[in-house]
Chain A
Amino acid sequence: ETVMTQSPGTLSVSPGERATLSCRASQSVGTSLAWYQQKPGQAPRLLMYDASTRATGIPARFSGSGSGTEFTLTISSLQPEDFALYYCQQYYNWPSGPFGGGTKVEIK
């Protein structure tokens, strides 16, 4: 099974600052990597797929990069609505397609 590890567990950032979230796979997943945002009491929302393609309606301040085993989600200038949990998910080595453990982005 491919294990997905996200870091840091919690990221404290001030509004307007840049946030960089990491996701590491235990084996190569190519670019078959998605990012999701989840706010309290809500379902996850797709942000990014194929490592670097923004989903419909996602603002340009969100960007994704990486391939193989190392991936990054960057939020260029944090807005109040961006404080949330973020999960990565690989879909290369399936049928098991685990999610990472998540990174909480909180207000500093």
Chain B
Amino acid sequence: EVQLVESGGGLVQPGGSLRLSCAASGFTFSSYSMNWVRQAPGKGLEWVSHIGGSGGTRYNTDSVKGRFTVSRDNAKNSLYLQMNSLGAEDTAVYYCARSTSPLYYTYMDVWGKGTTVTVSS
């Protein structure tokens, strides 16, 4: 069964850091580019980061540039999101989602259930 399972969310103080993980199973992880998508409470979906299948290309949305870093370990079938300098505006459910191409940002056909990040003092 194709599956994505996120972990690492929690409560963090403003200015703090958090590292999210996404464990993939049931498919050849390195053959797909991956994304992080977040959803603030009561709000819509916001694409955050994309990384190519080899990890050679990475893109972030403007609001997280310089603060968030997406990475992957294909040997461990895992995707990561290192989040630094967190602010209240980063409070959201964070989903990892699979794109259908090894290189390009496409539609997302597999989603995890999400992990919740709350930034509050």
Contacts and interface: CB of A to CB of B under 8 A. Distances in A.
Given A43-B95, A99-B46, A91 B111 contact: no
B44 A87 contact: yes
B47 A98 contact: yes
B95 A96 contact: no
Contacts of B113: 42-43
A18 interface: no
B25 interface: no
Main secondary structure of the interface of A (DSSP, over half): loop
Interface stretch (A20-28, A44-52, A66-74): A44-52
B13 to A, nearest CB: 26
B45 A95 contact: no
A97 B37 CA distance: 11
A85 to B, nearest CB: 8
Given A96-B47, A98-B47, A44 B105 contact: no
Interface size class of A (residues with CB under 8 A): 20 to 34
A99 B61 CA distance: 12
A101 B44 CA distance: 6
A89 B107 contact: yes
A41 B104 CA distance: 29
A34 B107 contact: yes
Given A43-B111, A43-B113, 5 more contacts: A87-B45, A89-B47, A96-B62, A99-B44, A99-B45
22 contacts: A36-B108, A43-B95, A43-B111, A43-B112, A43-B113, A44-B37, A44-B111, A46-B107, A46-B109, A49-B100, A55-B109, A87-B45, A91-B106, A94-B104, A94-B105, A95-B105, A96-B61, A96-B62, A97-B47, A97-B50, A98-B46, A99-B46
